């Protein structure tokens, strides 16, 4: 059972926009920033979004992040076949002296 | 551009200590104010944060592992390491080393199997 809750799966057709949610609480997302990672099959995860809505250099602007209250979202527009991957959210949790918590991951399928 | 590479035994016996090292290239473990850490992924499962450390000694651990995990930096070798004691089959996972508290760089990962 992950501290942050993500839908296990999401899907969309090429060119469409897909949104993945990440739900937390007042001890994590409610008071700290959220990061998003993409993991292609058989590879290490890669940072996609940090500080809620910032894109690292090289990440296309098709990827955007947002946060409201105790929830965050990752939106992927102009869906491409290579976007098929697992997506994870993460945040610092202030409970138990503090630690990093992840969502359980969302498997995105491009139809 | 920074590169991270994990190394260590792929097989560890139950009750023994798992030891992994991450070699950093393209950056220094003493520069940039970065924390250096470890994340693992059980087979077919999600990501689990183990902990991270700053080279001057501030270290944070996942409460679920804190009593067994130790992360430390070797500045002379530009490496950092993970030690996990008293391992069981539940510690079988792919272990990734990471840079910074936002995990902006990852090693390719190394599979560690705990089995007799």
Q: What is the pLDDT of residues A15-44, one digit of tens each?
A: 999 999 999 999 999 999 999 999 999 999
Minimum-distance CB partner of B63 among A35, A96, A105: A96
Q: In the Cβ-directed half-sphere of B62, how many Cα atoms lie within 13 Å? A: 19
Residue B87 token pair: 């391992």
pLDDT of residue B57: 83
Q: A35 CA to chain B: closest CA distance, Å?
A: 7
Confidence of residue A1 (pLDDT cuts 50, 70, 90): confident
Assigned token pair, A84: 């098929």
Report yes or no: B14 and B88 within 8 Å, Cβ to Cβ. Answer: yes
Q: Which pLDDT score is estimated for B60?
A: 94
Q: Which residue has the tokens 């007042």?
A: A26
Asked whether residue A91 carries a pLDDT value surpassing 90, the answer given is: yes
- Chain B residues in contact with chain A using a Cβ-Cβ cutoff of 8 Å: 46-49, 60-63, 96, 101-109
Q: Which residues of chain B have pLDDT under 50?
A: none
Least Cα distance to B30 among B51, B55, B52, B58 occurs for B55
- Tokens of residue A5, six digits: 């809750």
A98 vs B96: CB contact, 8 Å cut-off? no
The H or E element containing residue A20 is strand A18-23
Q: CB–CB of B106 and A46 under 8 A?
A: yes
Length of chain A: 111
pLDDT at B67: 87
Taking an 8 Å cut-off on Cβ atoms, the answer to whether A90 and B46 are in contact is: no
Closest CA to B18 of B32, B5, B8: B8
Shortest Cα–Cα distance, A4 to chain B (Å): 12
The DSSP secondary structure of B51-116, one letter per residue, reads EEE-TTS-EEE-TTTTTTEEEEEETTTTEEEEEE-S--GGG-EEEEEEETTTT-EE---EEEEE--
- The residue of B46, B65, B67 whose CB has the most chain A CBs within 10 angstroms, and thus the best one to mutate to test that interface, is B46
Question: Token digits for A20?
Answer: 């993945």
What is the Cα–Cα distance from A71 to A58, expressed in whole angstroms?
26
| Gap between the Cα atoms of A50 and A2, Å rounded | 20
pLDDT digits (tens, 9 = 90+) for A45-81: 999 999 999 999 999 999 999 999 999 999 999 999 9
d(CA B13, CA B16): 6
B84: nearest Cα among B14, B1, B4: B14
Q: Say what the alpha-carbon torsion angle B107, A103, B66, B63 is, to the nearest 10 degrees.
A: 160
- Within 8 A of A37 by CB-CB distance, chain B residues are 47, 103
């Amino acid at each position: 059972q992950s501290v942050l809750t993500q839908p296990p799966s999401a899907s969309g057709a090429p060119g469409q926009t897909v949104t993945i949610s990440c739900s937390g609480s007042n001890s994590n997302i409610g008071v700290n920033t959220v990061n998003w990672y993409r993991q292609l099959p058989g590879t290490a995860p890669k940072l996609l979004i940090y500080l809620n809505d910032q894109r690292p250099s090289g990440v296309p602007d098709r990827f955007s992040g947002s946060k409201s209250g105790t929830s965050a979202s990752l939106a992927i527009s102009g869906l491409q076949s290579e976007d098929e991957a697992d997506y994870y959210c993460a945040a610092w949790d202030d409970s138990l002296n503090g630690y990093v918590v992840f969502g359980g991951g969302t498997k995105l399928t491009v139809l | 551009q920074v590169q991270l590479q994990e190394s260590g035994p792929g097989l560890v016996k139950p009750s023994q200590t798992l030891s992994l090292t991450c070699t950093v290239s393209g950056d220094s473990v003493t520069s940039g104010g970065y924390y250096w850490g470890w994340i693992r992924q059980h087979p077919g499962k999600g990501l689990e944060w183990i902990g991270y450390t700053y080279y001057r000694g501030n270290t944070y651990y996942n409460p679920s592992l804190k009593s067994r995990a130790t992360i430390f930096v070797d500045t002379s070798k530009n490496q950092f390491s993970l030690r996990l004691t008293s391992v069981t089959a539940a510690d079988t996972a792919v272990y990734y080393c990471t840079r910074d508290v936002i995990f902006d760089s990852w090693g390719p990962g190394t599979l560690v199997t705990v089995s007799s």
